[in-house]
Structure 1
Amino acid sequence: MKSLLALAVLAASAATGAHAQDFGLEGREFSVDLGVGVDVGPDYPGSDDAEARPVLIWRNAGFTEPGSDVRQGLGISPSFNMEGEREASDNEDLAGMEDIDRAYELGLRVSYAWGPLVAFGTLRQGFEGHEGLTGEIGGRYRTDLSDRLSLWSGLSLGYGDGDYNGTYFGVTPAEAIPGRPAYDIGGGFNLAAISFEARYAVTDNIALVGEIKYGKLIGDAGDSPVVQDEYQPSLSVGIVRKFSFQF
């Protein structure tokens, strides 16, 4: 994994004809937390039922001073997500709606850290359940309570293109019934969220992580006739290992 991360960053530098010292990165260390966990949240966007699912954790990517755990500057890492399937037979409110398969999303996360502040943006392509583009923009603030325990508080806005929003929030004329009119929706912001995340370092390289996220569907997504609950809370816990390499 270290080799793959090193190759990815070095390849990006080579492609632009730049070197680490050109960006002030010489002597810096790139690190990332990688692990697995469990997420409990809505089983599909707009649902009022929860589902537990395994997740791959890849977070806190960025540059640090050697031996430090505080990421600074630019960070680029993969972004993963999974949306649960939606079956009309599971809820009478969805009678007559097309079923949606489980969706897998893969993309990139770009972040930049100034001291305790981190701004970030993600963009992912969906596969199977939906084939749209989705992602988030937002910021987080880090508070170190001790040498081992760190907290982040954050705000974010979720986005979906027309394919994504249409899949989960749209109603086609064929699916319309009395009380559930046809609903055409385009791309735009669909979720506003506040989050609180904790990281406890068990050792120098192993940590326990957890996040509570409270989201609310907004805009045309929140007004969709198929949304069963506009409030979308989630909880995730996991274990990660810190991987790092030095320039």
Structure 2
Amino acid sequence: MIARIASTTSLLIATATAPLLAAGPTDMADDAVMIAPAPAPAAPRFVFTLRGGVSMDPEYFGSEDYEVGPDVGFRFNYLSLRNGREFGNPDPWAENLGFGVGGSFRFVGERDSGDFDELAGLDDIDPAVELGVSLNYGTENFNTFAAVRRGFGGHEGWVGEIGADAVMRPTDRLRLSLGPRVFFGDEEYSNTYFGITADEASAALPTYELDGGLVSAGVEFGARYQINDVWGLEGAVTWEKFQNDAADSPIVEQGDDEQWGVRFGVTRVFSIGG
């Protein structure tokens, strides 16, 4: 094979140079071959989606009253590097197929006990940010995920979340999803939001200490509508019921062990580079 390739190359060179030799030195100079430079590596490209809107959630974990607040979301879509490596899908509206690893984030608002008569005597809780990683697996009609996060601020515990969705597409632009959710918290997390120390205890809210484990189980229904290549609408309705030690907390017993959540927002796709 090597000898055959070399022979073919020599024949091509001889064929290509014969007219130049016949034409003479002057013509050869005029017909010099220009060699194009090698193409430059592709520029990096980053595609992501931001969501902004409103939400309605319980005023605190276990509350029977609700409050309206802002809703903000971020979704990673695609990243390409100069070395040619790619992550995600350049089409922000496509399903993420197969296995994937990503980040996980949740914000938990503060609990100011002075704002609620039923929580009188309990310590205030600062806002908390939870940061972690998630593992996902998706197909055209099914998606599942598991996430682990660590809290900073209001609580310093670890939490975990597992969920799955059946995905339906009534039209090319409308995506619907429905599936179960379960939420876990360690001892630190559970006692921060559902526990009552001896210093906080009262006749209405006696001392209560929790172990870590399953905190809640529920379901989420989501919808996403693609207006055009850049803009979209997105919303979800969630329902969860507290389980085990969390359900038996005096904070929950004087409130409601079933919690609803609603969010709705506008999405915008951003593409940087490329």
- Range into which the TM-score falls when normalised by the shorter chain: 0.7 to 0.9
Alpha-carbon RMSD across the aligned residues, in angstroms, is 2.6
Question: Larger Rg: 1 or 2?
Answer: 2
172, 182, 189: which is aligned to 2:197? 172
233, 236, 243: which is aligned to 2:263? 236
Q: Check conservation: 2:77, 2:90, Cα contact below 8 A.
A: no
Question: Structure 2: how far apart are the matches of 1:67 and 1:118?
Answer: 16
Provide the residue aligned with 1:124 in structure 2. Answer: 149
Q: Which runs of 5+ in 2 are unaligned?
A: 1-42, 79-87
Q: Check conservation: 1:61, 1:75, Cα contact below 8 A.
A: no
48, 61, 74: which is aligned to 2:99? 74
More strand by share: 1
Provide the residue aligned with 1:16 in structure 2. Answer: none
Provide the residue aligned with 2:36 in structure 1. Answer: none
> In structure 1, what residue type is equivalent to 2:182?
L
Is 1:40 aligned to residue 67 of structure 2?
A: no
Say which is worse superposed, 159-168 or 69-78, in terms of deviation: 69-78
Q: Check conservation: 1:137, 1:158, Cα contact below 8 A.
A: yes
Is 1:157 aligned to residue 182 of structure 2?
A: yes
Provide the residue aligned with 2:228 in structure 1. Answer: 203
Show CA shifts across 1:26-75 (max 9, x none).
xxxxx754332322101221122222332331348584596971221123
Q: Check conservation: 1:165, 1:186, Cα contact below 8 A.
A: yes
69, 72, 76: which is aligned to 1:56? 72
Is 1:188 aligned to residue 178 of structure 2?
A: no
Show CA shifts across 1:166-204 (max 9, x none).
100011111222242211102111111111100000012
Provide the residue aligned with 1:23 in structure 2. Answer: none
Count, aligned residues: 220
> In structure 2, what residue type is equivalent to 1:101?
D
Q: What is the TM-score normalised by the length of structure 2? A: 0.72
SS at match of 1:174: coil
Question: Structure 1: how far apart are the matches of 2:51 and 2:102?
Answer: 14
Q: Check conservation: 1:43, 1:85, Cα contact below 8 A.
A: no
Q: Check conservation: 2:77, 2:91, Cα contact below 8 A.
A: no
Provide the residue aligned with 2:114 in structure 1. Answer: 89
Question: Structure 2: how far apart are the matches of 1:4 and 1:229?
Answer: 47
Change (3 A) 1:57 1:163: same
Q: Which runs of 5+ in 1 are unaligned?
A: 6-30
Question: Structure 2: how far apart are the matches of 1:3 and 1:238?
Answer: 29
Question: Structure 1: how far apart are the matches of 2:262 and 2:58?
Answer: 10
Q: Check conservation: 2:45, 2:271, Cα contact below 8 A.
A: no
Q: Check conservation: 1:58, 1:79, Cα contact below 8 A.
A: no
Change (3 A) 1:67 1:171: closer
Change (3 A) 1:96 1:114: same
Say which is worse superposed, 156-165 or 126-135, in terms of deviation: 126-135
Say which is worse superposed, 166-175 or 65-74, in terms of deviation: 65-74
Q: Check conservation: 1:56, 1:80, Cα contact below 8 A.
A: no
Question: Structure 1: how far apart are the matches of 2:114 and 2:191?
Answer: 20
Percent of aligned positions that are identical: 37
Q: What is the TM-score normalised by the length of structure 1? A: 0.79
Is 1:137 aligned to residue 153 of structure 2?
A: no
